[in-house]
Amino acid sequence: MALDVSVVKKDFPILDQQVHGRRLVYLDSASSSQKPRAVLEAMQDELETTYANVHRGVYAIAEESTRRYEDARAKVARFIGARSTREVVFTKNVTEAINLVAYAWGRSHLQPGDAVLLTEMEHHANIVPWLQLKAERGIELRYLPLTDDGHLMLDDLAQMVDGVKLVGVSCCSNVLGTINPVRRIADAAHAAGALVIADGAQYSPHMATDVSALGCDFYGFTGHKMLGPTGIGVLWAREELLEAMPIFIGGGEMIRDVRLDGFIPNELPWKFEAGTPPFVEAIGLGAAVDYLENIGMDAVRAHEKALTAYALGTLKERYGDDLVIHGPSDPEDRGGAISFVYKDVHPHDLSQVLDQAGVCVRAGHHCAKPLMRRLGVTATARASMYVYNDEADVDALADALAEADTLFF
């Protein structure tokens, strides 16, 4: 069933307003998405009727709070095709999920001289933790390069993965929009004896996710980019890997027993969930999963692909070579994040002018400075689309760029 944006928009209270006397056009979902009433109400209901710490009290509202929290985990497991809820660890965000793997798996498996293969398009969250290990352990970092049109260069993939212990790859670039062939990379990595960690922050909100089909061993994503609240993310990993990994953070909840001379960690997944978890946020994430599943992820992808095609065509038709769009030109190969440079206007200046027209876009390096250097720019403006955007929003962006012309030129 096709996605009806006119119906979807009504579910998002924040969109029913004006800024600077203009209709709010939110085109920054790659940074953080807006929240439907269903998510806001699920969290409010938990706070008003059932709020109590999870996995601790045996009184009625505590048990109900725990049930809702674990029900959210089950929804997430289903949403990504996990075999078991034991494989679903709640984290603060995908950054923490990747750091968990780098700390718990990396520090127990990587020795001086061991190699980790990343890509030039990775978010800092999938670079900095491995740079830390390079500084601490002397591991080797390799990087898959990019083509000029924003695809990974995979001609030498077999050579690049040779001798590697881990491959880290973004499923979908937050800058270029490129959808990467994760399964092909995973198959090559496994053939070389390496594991794969996939960053799904820009993938799971927009496309049907099946971790088995992707072929990865670790997978992370974050709630606030998929209609959920901030402060909640997910690490999925194969159960046998999580079982063998040492703990990440120590404290309450993650233990089965503690003595003065040692401790026994809890079972999965709570072994990696020290302290009071963000259970209200997890319940909100569960509601976001319900909302997206009600739309249908195939419908989400079809809508965004069509809207991205319209955006690419409209911007090219109206602005030609004055507007440079980075990333693949075929909507089939990309998500809905469009990074661009307009004439010689600095992206921050451009973003401020667009804001006066009610249009919200991101400007900056998008937590991907190595990629900015590869592109030969210090920053870009980025418009990113989601389920509540339509062609009128794209037209508003294009019109606002014309208004920028009158100011700068």
Q: Identify whether residues 136 and 256 lie together within a single domain.
A: yes
Rounded average pLDDT over 354-374: 98
Q: Are 343 and 408 in contact (CB under 8 A)?
A: yes
Q: What angle separates helix 60-80 from helix 279-295, to the nearest 10 degrees?
A: 40
Q: Identify whether residues 115 and 177 lie together within a single domain.
A: yes
* pLDDT at residue 378 is higher than 90: yes
Helical spans, DSSP H, in 46-93:
60-80
As a whole number of angstroms, the distance between CA 166 and CA 181 comes to 16
Domain at 300, CATH number: 3.90.1150.10
Question: Catalytic pick from 171, 172, 360, 367?
Answer: 367
Q: Are 173 and 206 in contact (CB under 8 A)?
A: no
Q: Are 197 and 166 in contact (CB under 8 A)?
A: yes
Residue 376 CB: number of other CB atoms within 10 A? 8
Q: Identify whether residues 351 and 331 lie together within a single domain.
A: yes
What lies within 8 Å, CB to CB, of 130 at 6+ separation is 102, 106, 116, 118, 139, 141, 168
Residue 35 lies in a domain: no
Residue 20 lies in a domain: yes
Q: Identify whether residues 115 and 157 lie together within a single domain.
A: yes
* pLDDT at residue 137 is higher than 90: yes
Could you say which of 244, 269, 293 is where a domain stops? 293
Q: Beta-strand (E) ranges in 252-378?
A: 255-259, 262-265, 323-326, 337-342, 359-360, 362-364
Report pLDDT for 336: 97
As a whole number of angstroms, the distance between CA 383 and CA 311 comes to 10
Helical spans, DSSP H, in 221-328:
239-244, 279-295, 297-319
Picking from 303, 246, 335, the residue whose alpha carbon sits closest to that of residue 2 is 303
Report pLDDT for 101: 98
As a whole number of angstroms, the distance between CA 9 and CA 209 comes to 24
Residue 353 lies in a domain: yes
* Confidence grade of residue 205 (pLDDT, cut at 50, 70, 90): very high
Q: Identify whether residues 11 and 54 lie together within a single domain.
A: no
What's the farthest any 2 CA atoms get from each other in the chain?
A: 72
360 is catalytic: no
Residue 349 lies in a domain: yes
* pLDDT at residue 262 is higher than 80: yes
- Percent of the chain at pLDDT above 90? 98
Residue 136 lies in a domain: yes
Q: What angle separates helix 279-295 from helix 297-319, to the nearest 10 degrees?
A: 80
Residue type, 249: I
As a whole number of angstroms, the distance between CA 335 and CA 196 comes to 22
As a whole number of angstroms, the distance between CA 196 and CA 183 comes to 10
- Print the domain residue range for 378: 5-30+296-408
Residue type, 334: R
Domain at 84, CATH number: 3.40.640.10
Residue 253 lies in a domain: yes
What lies within 8 Å, CB to CB, of 164 at 6+ separation is 115, 116, 117, 142, 189, 192, 194
Residue 115 lies in a domain: yes
Report pLDDT for 407: 83
Report pLDDT for 23: 97
Report pLDDT for 405: 84
Q: Identify whether residues 306 and 284 lie together within a single domain.
A: no
Could you give phi then psi for residue 111, rounded to 5 degrees?
A: -115, 165
Q: Are 347 and 364 in contact (CB under 8 A)?
A: yes
Rounded average pLDDT over 153-182: 98
Split into its structural domains, the chain has a count of 2
* pLDDT at residue 1 is higher than 80: no
* Confidence grade of residue 59 (pLDDT, cut at 50, 70, 90): very high
Rounded average pLDDT over 262-279: 97
Rounded average pLDDT over 190-204: 98
Q: Identify whether residues 75 and 126 lie together within a single domain.
A: yes
Angle among Cα 3, 174, 332 to the nearest 5 degrees reads: 50
Rounded average pLDDT over 269-290: 98
Residue type, 378: T
Could you give phi then psi for residue 19, rounded to 5 degrees?
A: -130, 135
Rounded average pLDDT over 165-173: 98
Q: Identify whether residues 239 and 168 lie together within a single domain.
A: yes
Q: Are 176 and 120 in contact (CB under 8 A)?
A: no
Angle among Cα 296, 150, 129 to the nearest 5 degrees reads: 80
* Confidence grade of residue 404 (pLDDT, cut at 50, 70, 90): confident
Q: Would the CA dihedral through 160, 162, 166, 169 be positive or negative?
A: positive
Q: Identify whether residues 127 and 264 lie together within a single domain.
A: yes
Which strand (E) or helix (H) includes residue 116? Answer: strand 115-119
Name the burial class of residue 159, with classes exposed (0-12), middle (13-18) and buried (19+) by CB atoms within 10 angstroms of its CB. Answer: exposed
Q: Identify whether residues 248 and 355 lie together within a single domain.
A: no
As a whole number of angstroms, the distance between CA 348 and CA 333 comes to 28
Q: Identify whether residues 278 and 321 lie together within a single domain.
A: no
Q: Identify whether residues 307 and 283 lie together within a single domain.
A: no
Could you say which of 238, 271, 293 is where a domain stops? 293
Residue 277 lies in a domain: yes
Could you say which of 293, 316, 332 is where a domain stops? 293
